[in-house]
Amino acid sequence: MAVGRPADIAPLALAAGSYRTPPRRISRFARRFPGARFYTRTASVVWRASGLAKRGRYDDAAWNRSSLEILRALEEVGIRIEIEGAGNFAGLEGPCVFIGNHMSTLETFLLPSIVMTAKRVTFVVKQSLLEYPVFGHVMRARDPIVVGRSNPRDDLKAVLDGGAARLREGLSIIVFPQRTRTPVFDPAGFNSIGVKLAKRAQVPVVPLALKTDAWGNGKHVKDVGVIDPTKEVHFAFGRPLHVTGSGSDAQQAVVAFIRKHLLAWGGHVLVDEPLP
């Protein structure tokens, strides 16, 4: 069963591998109160999705649809979204591991509607996310790989074992190797767990760079921050990488891809030596 109203939710057009929010008229209320407009609609989407999940009816189509409704809600308050390189995974045969930086809540909501244009997918998520009221039901319904972030050895085993099993079933995996969401990219804190998973399962890695600070991290509730329409949202997908040897070459290539795009978008990188 789909989430949202069929009349105002159309499929995301990524046939050419890219997407950019078309010009649109923004209502006076949305211009003055973007956060109020956006969070009101988002709360409605999550509430309905949770209801479907509790009844065992939150399938791929429903997840894709509610993700797309969140994307449209961002555009309705004036946030422009740009996606590039989707053709790099759309034409890829079989599943893959997407490895990206983690900046805000936004990517967790929007990536399903982007990736599921071509791939079935799930996330590696923190245990705490499944314990959220209402939203926890949604995440549990999507068969994520769960980590605790307190014991690195246990987390590695959970990702390698659980990820390999899902990849064998044709399900691609999105991994954010950073410990927490942050607008500043620190290459030193970007671990190689995604590359290790791809090597174990013998599937390609797809680098993912994103800039999503238009949905800020809140001071008291991290998922509820400032909605800033003056900031553009960017997603860029790189060419698939095949992991060989120790995987260090693939890891360095992913980090370089993210770093290059963040700098081009005016993002913040902790270590800023010249690009190779």
pLDDT at 272: 52
pLDDT at 222: 67
- Residues 4, 69 contacting (CB under 8 angstroms): yes
pLDDT at 93: 92
- pLDDT tens-digit profile of 104-157? 999 999 999 999 989 999 999 888 878 888 888 998 999 999 987 677 888 889
In angstroms, the CA 207 to CA 88 distance is: 10
- pLDDT tens-digit profile of 49-95? 999 999 999 999 999 999 999 999 999 999 999 999 999 999 899 99
Q: Lowest-confidence range among 121-130, 187-196, 239-248?
A: 121-130
Place of tokens 């068969």: 143
Banded model confidence at residue 167, pLDDT cuts 50, 70, 90: very high
79-269 under CATH 3.40.1130.10, yes or no: yes
**186 token code pair:** 């620190």
In angstroms, the CA 223 to CA 244 distance is: 37
In angstroms, the CA 95 to CA 200 distance is: 13
pTM across the whole model: 0.91
**Domain coordinates in residue numbering, the chain:** 79-269
